[in-house]
């Protein structure tokens, strides 16, 4: 059930919710959100998204209303569908709290080095999904929710060590993550009453890690990711998602801070 009253009447939005970290987080949040709450799940893949939404609705007890929105945030049409859904549902009820988790993201073609990245369409498509959509969704959600007396607003960016540190073959991913961290730091400065967190979940045992260790062009990097898996250093999504939920419940992080799984 919902532990403390803090999660009562909360509007919660999670992007990239159909698999990996997003799915684990959605499950944890659904168990914590009390009556009068809304959980909005955004993802590209309609079928796994519908399956997850059904699973979360089947929870015993008074959980949140679950809304699945299938939209490809990387294309303009999909992003418009997602923002339209938020404009419709967020102002509709007297929620006491907004929690938005920008989790959706992609690795890019890591078989390519910097010098291979010559096609502007490929690069623009990458940034449209990984940077533009996070900015548009967040600004739209905050606008739609508005400033309500006594209500709290929290925005989470799922970040990465790659936001701080360069890695060979990962020019797109590293620069996308760095952009997002900085973007949300600016939000934290501009909107002091919005709580902003850049959370790096650590090396997760996901499809993205599978890509990292099989597709990465740079051989040393590829070997590094293989060794992470072989030495069982990959983190279970639920374990990392639990740390994020704890951070949100304690609510003591400095707004705009970059907090890593291993810092906690």
Distance in angstroms (rounded) separating the CA atoms of residues 131 and 180 = 6
What pLDDT, on the 0 to 100 scale, is given for residue 178?
Answer: 99
Q: Flag residues of the chain having pLDDT under 70.
A: 1-6
What pLDDT, on the 0 to 100 scale, is given for residue 140?
Answer: 98
What pLDDT, on the 0 to 100 scale, is given for residue 3?
Answer: 44
Question: Do residues 156 and 212 make contact, with C-beta atoms less than 8 angstroms apart?
Answer: no
What pLDDT, on the 0 to 100 scale, is given for residue 7?
Answer: 85
Rounded to the nearest 10 degrees, what angle do helices 133-145 and 76-89 cross at?
A: 20
Question: Do residues 118 and 172 make contact, with C-beta atoms less than 8 angstroms apart?
Answer: no
Pairing, β 194-200 against β 152-158: parallel
Mean of pLDDT over the chain = 95
What pLDDT, on the 0 to 100 scale, is given for residue 6?
Answer: 52
What pLDDT, on the 0 to 100 scale, is given for residue 2?
Answer: 38
* Beta carbons within 10 angstroms of residue 54's beta carbon: 11
Rounded to the nearest 10 degrees, what angle do helices 20-32 and 46-57 cross at?
A: 20
Distance in angstroms (rounded) separating the CA atoms of residues 24 and 44 = 16
Exposure of 31 in the CB half-sphere (CA atoms within 13 A): 8
Question: Do residues 198 and 184 make contact, with C-beta atoms less than 8 angstroms apart?
Answer: yes
Distance in angstroms (rounded) separating the CA atoms of residues 65 and 40 = 8
What pLDDT, on the 0 to 100 scale, is given for residue 1?
Answer: 37
Domains and CATH numbers, the chain: 10-202+236-252 (3.40.50.720)
What pLDDT, on the 0 to 100 scale, is given for residue 61?
Answer: 75
């Amino acid at each position: 059930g919902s532990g403390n009253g803090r999660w009562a009447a909360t509007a919660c939005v999670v992007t990239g919710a159909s698999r990996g970290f997003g799915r684990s987080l959605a499950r944890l949040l659904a168990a914590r959100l009390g009556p009068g709450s809304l959980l909005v799940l955004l993802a590209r893949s309609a079928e796994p998204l519908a399956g997850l939404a059904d699973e979360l609705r089947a929870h015993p007890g008074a959980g949140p209303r679950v809304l699945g929105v299938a939209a490809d945030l990387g294309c303009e049409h999909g992003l418009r569908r997602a923002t339209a859904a938020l404009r419709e549902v967020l102002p509709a009820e007297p929620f006491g709290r907004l929690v938005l988790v920008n989790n959706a993201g992609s690795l890019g073609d890591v078989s390519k080095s910097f010098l291979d990245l010559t096609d502007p369409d490929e690069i623009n498509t990458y940034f449209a999904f990984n940077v533009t959509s996070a900015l548009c969704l967040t600004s739209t959600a905050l606008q739609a929710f508005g400033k309500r007396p006594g209500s709290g607003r929290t925005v989470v960016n799922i970040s990465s060590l790659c936001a701080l540190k360069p890695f060979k073959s990962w020019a797109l991913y590293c620069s996308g993550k760095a952009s997002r961290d900085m973007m949300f730091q600016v939000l934290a400065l501009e909107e002091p009453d919005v709580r902003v967190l850049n959370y790096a979940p650590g090396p997760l045992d996901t499809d993205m890690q599978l890509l990292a260790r099989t597709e990465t062009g740079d051989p040393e990097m590829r070997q590094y990711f293989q060794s992470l898996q072989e030495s069982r250093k990959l983190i279970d999504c639920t374990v990392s998602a639990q740390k994020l939920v704890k951070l949100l419940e304690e609510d003591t992080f400095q707004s705009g801070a970059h907090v890593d799984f291993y810092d906690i």
